[in-house]
Amino acid sequence: MQNWDIEQTREKHHYMDCMFYFPRTDMDEQNYMKVLSDCLNEIAYIDDKKILTRTHEVYYDNQNPRIEITIYPVEYVGIFHNEQALNTFESKCKTCKRYKNNCSILKKSIEGRILDDVTKLNNEYICDKFNPIE
């Protein structure tokens, strides 16, 4: 883990991509994922509830069996596909009366909660409770 800051895993989801190199062909990578995730708790990340495990490849190498792991942040933020979509949504929030009082809709959307108050239309998120500052 080079230049790894475990704190970045506290709030944001991360992918854990794995490549398995098994010593035998009768091994099942699915049997290893939860154990692997639990073992890396507080070593590579704060808590595995924010880790999305993915197996990319399985090989067989009886001379050098191993698991190669790459951990990196996901692109999405909460319900938003990326940081830009969040910024677009939040910039409109800043012109709403609810924003000044720590808007629960914005907060829950960043947490990834699906709300009836937020509608997705043509890849844009719209707050149905928007009340402009006058």
- pLDDT per position as a tens digit, 37-64: 999 999 999 999 999 999 999 999 999 9
| Cβ pair 13, 53 in contact under 8 A | no
Q: Specify the DSSP element, H or E, that contains 104.
A: helix 104-111
Among 73, 94, 114, the domain-final residue is: 73
Q: How far is CA 16 from CA 32, 57, 119, in A?
A: 13, 13, 30
Q: Does residue 64 share a domain with residue 16? A: yes
Q: Does residue 64 share a domain with residue 103? A: no
Write down the H helix ranges in 10-94: 30-39, 83-93
Contacts of 22 (CB under 8 A, 6+ apart): 29, 58, 59, 60, 61, 65
Contacts of 122 (CB under 8 A, 6+ apart): none
Q: Is residue 46 part of a domain?
A: yes
Distance, CA of 90 to CA of 10 (rounded, Å)? 22
Distance, CA of 42 to CA of 1 (rounded, Å)? 13
Q: Does residue 88 share a domain with residue 69? A: no
| Cβ pair 50, 12 in contact under 8 A | yes
User: Is the pLDDT reported for residue 1 higher than 60?
Assistant: no
Q: Does residue 108 share a domain with residue 66? A: no
Q: Is residue 35 part of a domain?
A: yes
Q: Does residue 59 share a domain with residue 12? A: yes
Kindly report whether the global pTM for this prediction surpasses the value 0.85.
no
Q: Does residue 13 share a domain with residue 67? A: yes
Q: Does residue 92 share a domain with residue 65? A: no
Q: Is residue 97 part of a domain?
A: yes
Between 125 and 4, name the one with better pLDDT: 125
User: Is the pLDDT reported for residue 2 higher than 90?
Assistant: no
Q: Does residue 91 share a domain with residue 59? A: no
Strands 118-121 and 124-127: antiparallel
Q: Does residue 91 share a domain with residue 122? A: yes
Per residue in 90-115, pLDDT (tens digit) is: 999 999 998 988 899 999 999 999 99
Q: Does residue 15 share a domain with residue 54? A: yes
What is the span of the domain harbouring residue 118? 83-127
State the total domains in the chain: 2
